[in-house]
Amino acid sequence: LHNHVKTYETFTVLKGRFEVRWNDDGSGRAVLGQFDTISLPPGICRAFRNIGEDEGILQVIITGGVHDMADIAFTPAARQEIESVRPGLAEEFEKTGFTFTAGR
């Protein structure tokens, strides 16, 4: 899960099926099929993943604010997930400007 401080994101499934989660804990959830669309405002934590059997295509339109590292924050739980991939990986994210303060 991550959020954006100043930007909106609008997702449209062009191919496949995607799960979109939102809220600080990911408790909001929707499964999107072809041409389904969802838009999330700044400050709302969100995550998305391909849950289809094949490769999917998810179009993302970003509007408002500036889309750079300073606009993106991951949740503390995302930090733990990243660390489970490889210890020290979250620190590498932080070195590039990402933070783990979303949802606080």
**What would the pLDDT profile of 10-57 be if each residue is shown by its tens digit?**
999 999 999 999 998 999 999 999 999 999 999 999 999 999 999 999
Q: What is the reported pTM?
A: 0.76
pLDDT for 72 equals: 85
Mean pLDDT score, 95-102: 89
Q: What is the overall mean pLDDT for the chain?
A: 91
Q: Which string of b and e fits 9-36 if b means at least 16 CB within 10 Å?
A: bebbbebbbbebbbebebeeeeebeeee
pLDDT for 37 equals: 98
Mean pLDDT score, 81-94: 93
pLDDT for 15 equals: 98
pLDDT for 5 equals: 85
